[in-house]
Amino acid sequence: MHTRFPPEPNGFLHIGHAKSICLNFGLAREFGGKCNLRYDDTNPTKEEQVYIDAINEDVRWLGFEWEQPECYTSDYFDRLYEWARQLIRQGDAYVDDQTADEIRETRGTLKEPGTESPYRNRPVEENLDLFERMKKGEFDEGKKVLRAKIDMASGNLNLRDPVLYRILKAPHPRTGNAWCIYPMYDWAHGQSDSIEGITHSVCTLEFEDHRPLYDWCLDKLGAFHPQQIEFARLQLSHTLLSKRVLIQMVKDGTVNGWDDPRMPTISGLRRRGYTPESIREFCERIGVAKSNSTVEIGLLEHCLREELNKTARRVMAVLNPLKLVITNYPEGQTEEFDAENNPEDESAGFRKVPFSREVYIERDDFMEDPPKKFFRLGPGREVRLKHACIIRCDEVIKNDAGEIVELHCSYDPETRGGANPADGRKIKGTLQWVSVPHAVDAEVRLYDHLFSHETPWDSKACPELQSCLNPESLTVLKNAKVEPELGAAQLGDRFQFLRMGYFSVDPDAKPGAPVFNRTVTLKDTWGKMVSKGKAG
RNA sequence: UGGGGCGUCGACAAGUGGUCUAAGUCACGGGAUUUUGGAUCCCGCAUUCGGAGGUUCGAAUCCUCCCGCCCCAGCCA
């Protein structure tokens, strides 16, 4: 088995491409075959080297290695040209002088047949001569094309004398000015597959109509004939995977570049903190079929959490800090408690976490008048500070505006170090915290789905993209407090901020000024109860 | 009668004549457990396969008709 992943270098790869990559490379891996990376670079007006570099990086990052060296359709331009001459000699192709408009008008419609070009029956020698002169640059763009001579009455429009070559006086990123005629996809793809010895040419559903043409070309040429097989492209809820729209959002500033952590691009997912493993697992679980379907983005997030739960170090961070003073703890005293790094992985060991009289807790973890099922902190209530001790809230301090600025609590010395109370009373709530004098300031960026609408690609449900955007897709928190050791977090580090979610270091981070991206939240049963009104 | 596809649980998706009163995963609901309302563990979740007929001892799987959805009229890929 020999497969290939054939991107056009005209944009960045996204999660939909990942499905194709995993499929093609996965097939080769599973059946002991090979997989090529082939750039389908037949349109120099749209393609650029920067995209090739980005695609190479993304495929490698996803964990796949292609047969060296990578392939380019442009490497086959000579062969393709010779093959075109063979077609002409066989009387299966001709040079057409009609304009693009004329060709469109004579193609017919979906229900009516087209009409044949007046140039359709030119003698072979004339076609050969004209085609050669096209190659030499004697004609302007649009003046002539090479067409296959098939059937202008075919029900399949692709068979109504499709254009094989057009004149494009544009320099090519790889062949420079060597060519001014470039092959169309239909003329290039199958033959490139054939040259590379591809056995299974896997592509998306919209090419199903092209298969008869794919077969026609190879049959006429008598060349090695790979088999084209189609599958449904990925559609993800709350996500747009159209290259056109992605480019637009980058250009109009809706997002901050191709690698904005909200983008479904591989580079965006990478910056967001996704792991290659989780993306591969996702591609494995969604399966491959021919029916158009939409996968819930929750499945992608599940695959991520599943992996991060096993691998990410747990650490404490407070996103929206509220100061809490433990009045019966000696002023100026500091001690360290042992904290487990990952309950899912014993080998991750323990670390020391500094504790003192004043700590920050999450503002949302306190309610002045909490509902019954809220088992976090409230006046007179007891709660556990993870790894440290049990505290009771004695007093709520407010400013003149009536805002809560500080909590006064007392701790139970018996529970110091995380011990359970001797009297056997159960403490339901556990909070993460950060010691005030030891805290490191951090910027935390909270990300959510770019689109609040489930099917942003649906023009009926979403006539205007803007109105379907999630206004809360990015929330920047500049006043987060994190454990001291996180001040030294490195790019590529991933953590679970206890009870808050999984976070990764953003490239914007600088020494002493950490920046964290929320990769994905933790499952939030309480949040779900609140939004369903069952929290009372 | 343009051509090509697709329709199995809320979302994916196995299954292509008997082992199907239909696998698995996510989601969802319930319970246990828990120093993360996380994780983990149990339990539940399509008598039905777009619909209607038919063939057959037997159909999601074969046949007929019907319905719905997607793709194709770039000198894009």
Distance in angstroms: CA A199, C1' B64:
38
**DSSP bridge partners of A191:** none
Mean pLDDT of A431-438: 98
Structural contact between residues A407 and A362, judged by C-beta atoms closer than 8 angstroms: no
Q: Is the pTM of this model over 0.90?
A: yes
Mean pLDDT confidence for A388-402: 98
User: What's the pLDDT tens digit per position in A79-89?
Assistant: 999 999 999 99
Strand B close to A293 by CB, under 7 A: yes
Nearest CA to A445 out of A519, A335, A395, A388 is that of A519
For residue A131, the model assigns a pLDDT of: 98
A508: confidence class by pLDDT, cuts 50, 70, 90? very high
The distance (Å) linking the CA of A283 with the C1' of B29 is 28
Residue A329 has pLDDT above 80, yes or no: yes
Whether the CB of A209 is less than 7 Å away from nucleic strand B comes out as yes
Catalytically active residues of A are 8, 233, 243
**Does residue A352 reach within 7 angstroms of strand B, measured from its CB?**
no
ipTM value: 0.97
Measured CA distances, A355 to A415, A418, A437 (Å): 14, 12, 9
pLDDT surpassing 90 at residue A536:
no
Residue with nearest Cα to nucleotide B37 C1': A526
Segment A449-501, tens digit of pLDDT: 999 999 999 988 888 888 999 999 999 999 999 999 999 999 999 999 999 99
What is the average per-residue pLDDT within A159-166?
98
What is the pLDDT at residue A55?
98
DSSP string across A328-375: TSPTT-EEEEEEES-TT-GGG-EEEEEEESEEEEEGGGB-SS--TT--
Q: Check residue A17 and give its pLDDT.
A: 98
What does the pLDDT average to over A419-424?
Answer: 90
End-to-end CA distance of chain A: 60
Nucleotides of B under 7 A from a protein CB: 2-8, 10-14, 24-29, 35-40, 69-77
Per-residue model confidence as pLDDT tens digits over A192-249: 999 999 999 999 999 999 999 999 999 999 999 999 999 999 999 999 999 999 999 9
Nucleotide nearest to A143 (CA to C1'): B75
Q: Residue A460's pLDDT is what?
A: 84
